[in-house]
């Protein structure tokens, strides 16, 4: 009961919402184009099925051809607009993807470069520390030699001094 009323009302809204150039009447018949013979719309062409002319009390599709064509043009424009919007969205997505890929690549390259630089630096530092150790060793050796020399000199002086003192003392004792 209520379902039949709702289905009929939905059918009615379907009838009203026919947009663009209709292909078939609601009754399922093919549409024919006729020219109006009224005073208000002389020769204005419209779509109608053949049955509608025979059964004038029944509801059948009626649509002015110029309105249908105007609808069609609008629909094409809307579709184009929609497609342009979709394309823009796709473009934005692609650009986002591209920039994220670029960022990722940049990050990877940066990381690799940093790693390489770090490696090189570590190598260099190791080399330098080895050189430094060598230098230190050399320096230590030289310093040790120098110190030994100084020590020997000092020792020599001491020996000389002690000897001189002894010699002097001997002289004093002997005299």
Q: Using CA atoms, how far apart are residues 167 and 111, in angstroms rounded to an integer?
A: 80
Where are the alpha helices (H) located in the chain, listed in sequence order? 2-16, 50-54, 65-174
CB 22 within 8 A of CB 69: no
- Buried b / exposed e over 107-130, threshold 16 CB at 10 Å, is eeeeeeeeeeeeeeeeeeeeeeee
Out of 27, 34, 44, 65, point to the residue binding Zn ion (CB under 5 A): 27
- Judged by beta carbon, residue 4 or residue 54, the one nearer Zn ion is 54
Nearer to Zn ion, 60 or 63 (CB): 60
CB of 1 to Zn ion, least distance (A): 27
Site residue total, Zn ion (CB under 5 A): 6
- Contact between 18 and Zn ion by CB under 5 A: the answer reads no
Find the shortest distance in angstroms from Cβ 25 to Zn ion. 3
* Whole-angstrom distance, CA of residue 17 vs CA of residue 63: 11
Site for Zn ion in 42-81 (CB under 5 A): 49, 51, 60
Q: Which stretch binds Zn ion (CB under 5 A): 28-36, 37-45, 62-70, 77-85?
A: 28-36
Sites of contact with Zn ion (CB under 5 A): 25, 27, 29, 49, 51, 60
């Amino acid at each position: 009961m209520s379902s039949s009323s709702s289905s009929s009302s939905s059918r009615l809204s379907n009838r009203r919402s026919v947009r663009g150039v209709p292909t078939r009447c609601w009754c399922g018949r093919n549409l024919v184009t006729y020219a109006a013979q009224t005073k208000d719309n002389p020769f204005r062409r419209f779509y109608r099925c053949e049955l509608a002319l025979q059964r004038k009390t029944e509801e059948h599709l009626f649509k002015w051809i110029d309105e249908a064509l105007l609808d069609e043009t609008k629909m094409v424009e809307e579709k184009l607009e929609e497609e342009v919007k979709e394309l823009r969205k796709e473009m934005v997505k692609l650009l986002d993807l591209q920039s994220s890929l670029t960022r990722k690549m940049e990050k990877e390259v940066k990381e690799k470069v940093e790693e390489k630089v770090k490696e090189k630096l570590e190598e260099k530092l190791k080399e330098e520390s080895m050189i430094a150790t060598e230098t230190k060793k050399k320096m230590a050796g030289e310093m040790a030699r120098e110190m030994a020399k100084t020590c020997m000199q000092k020792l020599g002086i001491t020996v000389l001094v002690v000897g001189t003192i002894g010699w002097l003392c001997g002289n004093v004792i002997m005299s």
